[in-house]
Amino acid sequence: MHNYMQKLNCPICIHRTQCFFNSLTEKEYDFLGANKKEVNFKAGETIYKQGTESKYLIFLLSGMAKVYVEGDNGKLFILELIKPFQFLDIPSIFEDDMLHRSSAAIVDSKACLVDLKAFKSIILGDKKNVPRLIKHYNHTQKRYSTRLTNVIYKNMEARIADSLLYLVNEIYFSRDFTLTINRTDLADLSGMSRESASRILGQFKEQDIIKIKGRKIEVLNKKQLEHIARFG
Among residues 91, 50, 53, 56, the alpha carbon closest in space to that of 71 is found at 50
Q: Looking at the domain assignment, is residue 115 inside a domain?
A: yes
Q: Which of 126, 146, 174 is the last residue of a domain?
A: 126
Task: HSE, CB side, 13 Å, CA atoms: give it for residue 53.
Answer: 8
Amino acid letter, 103: S
Domain count, the chain: 2
pLDDT exceeds 60 at position 6: no
DSSP string of 190-212? HTS-HHHHHHHHHHHHHTTSEEE
How many whole angstroms separate alpha carbon 99 and alpha carbon 47? 11
Are residues 188 and 227 part of one domain? yes
Contact 129, 68 (CB under 8 A): no
Q: What does pLDDT average to over the chain?
A: 87
pLDDT tens digit sequence for 156-209: 999 999 999 999 999 999 999 999 999 999 999 999 999 999 999 999 999 999
* The pLDDT value given to residue 60: 92
Cβ neighbours around 59 below 10 Å, total: 22
Domain membership of residue 95 (yes or no) is yes
Do 25 and 116 fall within a single domain? Answer: yes
Q: In 63-203, where do the E strands start and end?
A: 65-70, 76-82, 102-105, 109-115, 176-178
- For 121-164, how does the pLDDT look when each residue is reduced to its tens digit (9 = 90+)? 888 887 777 777 788 778 888 888 888 888 889 999 999 999 99
Same domain, yes or no, for 91 and 196?
no
Are residue 32 and residue 109 in the same domain, yes or no? Answer: yes
Shared domain check, 49 and 8: yes
* Residue 133 placed within a domain: no
Of 50 and 94, more confident: 50
- Give the pLDDT score at 80: 94
CATH number at residue 31: 2.60.120.10
User: For residue 10, what pLDDT band results from cuts at 50, 70 and 90?
Assistant: low
Residues 117, 11 share a domain: yes
Specify the 3-state DSSP secondary structure of 84. Answer: coil
The pLDDT score that the predictor gives to residue 97 is 75
Q: Virtual CA dihedral for 149, 47, 111, 134, nearest 10 degrees?
A: 40
CATH number at residue 170: 1.10.10.10
Helix %, strand %, coil % of the chain (to 5)? 40, 25, 35
Last residue of a domain, one of 85, 108, 126: 126
Report if residue 53 sits inside a domain: yes
Interval 22-26 mean pLDDT: 75
160 and 107 both lie in a single domain: no
Note the pLDDT tens digit of each residue in 74-89.
Answer: 789 999 999 988 888 7
How far is Cα 40 from Cα 19, in angstroms, rounded to an integer? 18
Q: Residue 216: is its pLDDT beyond 50?
A: yes
The answer to whether residue 10 is domain-embedded is yes
Residue, of 10 and 61, whose pLDDT is higher: 61
| Segment 67-78 mean pLDDT | 88
Q: Is 7 a member of any domain?
A: yes
**Residue 14 banded pLDDT, cuts 50, 70, 90:** low
Q: What is the pLDDT of residue 1?
A: 39
Under 8 Å between Cβ of 117 and 153:
no
Residues 106 and 57 in one domain: yes
Mean pLDDT of 42-67: 92
State the Cα–Cα distance between residues 149 and 4, nearest whole angstrom.
39
| 120 and 12 both lie in a single domain | yes
Residue 147 in any domain: the answer is no
Does residue 140 form part of some domain? no
pLDDT at 209: 97
Does 37 share its domain with 115? yes
Cβ pair 61, 15 in contact under 8 A: yes
Q: Tell me: do 15 and 104 sit in the same domain.
A: yes
Give me the domain span that covers residue 60: 3-126
Question: Which pLDDT value is given to residue 126?
Answer: 75
Same-domain status, 60 and 101: yes
Residue 4: the pLDDT is 40
